[in-house]
Amino acid sequence: MDNIHDFYNKMEKGNIMLSFKGEVTSDLLTSILQIMESKMETLAEPPKIKKKVYNILVECLQNLYHHLDDDDFKTKINEKSALFMIRKVDGEYSIMTGNFIASDNVEIMESRLDTINNMDKEELKVYYKEVLNNGEMSAKGGGGLGMIDIARKSGKKLEYNFDPIDNSYSFFSLNIKVAQ
């Protein structure tokens, strides 16, 4: 039973406000948003921070939701599972996500994230408008805007990592900090 205490201590030390591991469904998404909204209400966060965090949460969770929706992930047992955590350290919120992706997609995702990270506020605004106006809309509606929007709202560089699992899969970790 020691393990449970260990888990608790790790989460406590890591200032984890909320964590979830598993399949992200539409209902779960709604519940997490409600929980976080009431938590931030209790903490009397400034409206500005509350809105930014909420917006980023929506995009992250919907990214995971739509990603797990993809057909390519139907074969193995674990790929549908994702990790989602929110922490608050010294008043700064971080939203962390982890999920499995096909290794074939790593390169394109990496270049997309680097493109975004190399842009300043103004460049991101221009890029957002460009993709909004010209980008192809995917069946689910996102069309590549999500990550640009996350970067704009966060005001910080996106921290990410890809861990190769085997020939086919990698684990994608994303850490989004919300500038105060």
Partner 1 sequence: MADLKLEGSPKTPTIEFNSEAGYLLIRGRSIPENSIEFYKPLIEALETYNSNSQSNTKVDIQLEYFNTSSSKCILDVFKKLEAINSGNSEVIINWYYEEDDEDMLEAGEDYQAIINIPFKMIEVEEE
Residues of this chain that interact with partner 1 (CB under 8 A) are 26, 29-30, 33-34, 47-48, 51-52, 54-55, 58-59, 62, 65-66, 125, 128-129, 132-133, 135, 137, 139-143, 145-146, 148-149, 152-153
Task: Give me the sheet containing 169-177, strands edge to edge.
Answer: 16-22, 82-89, 92-102, 169-177, 159-164
Could you tell me the two tokens for 13? Answer: 């030390």
Contacts of 134 (CB under 8 A, 6+ apart): none
Measured from the CB of residue 137, what is the shortest distance to partner 1 in angstroms? Answer: 5
Closer residue to partner 1 in complex, CB, 32/170:
32
Measured from the CB of residue 110, what is the shortest distance to partner 1 in angstroms? Answer: 21
Query: Helix, strand or coil for residue 157?
Result: coil
Closer residue to partner 1 in complex, CB, 37/92:
37
E strand spans, the chain:
16-22, 82-89, 92-102, 159-164, 169-177
Measured from the CB of residue 103, what is the shortest distance to partner 1 in angstroms? Answer: 26
Measured from the CB of residue 30, what is the shortest distance to partner 1 in angstroms? Answer: 6
Burial class of residue 139 (count of CB atoms within 10 Å of its CB; 0-12, 13-18, 19+): exposed
Closer residue to partner 1 in complex, CB, 15/26:
26
Closer residue to partner 1 in complex, CB, 62/173:
62
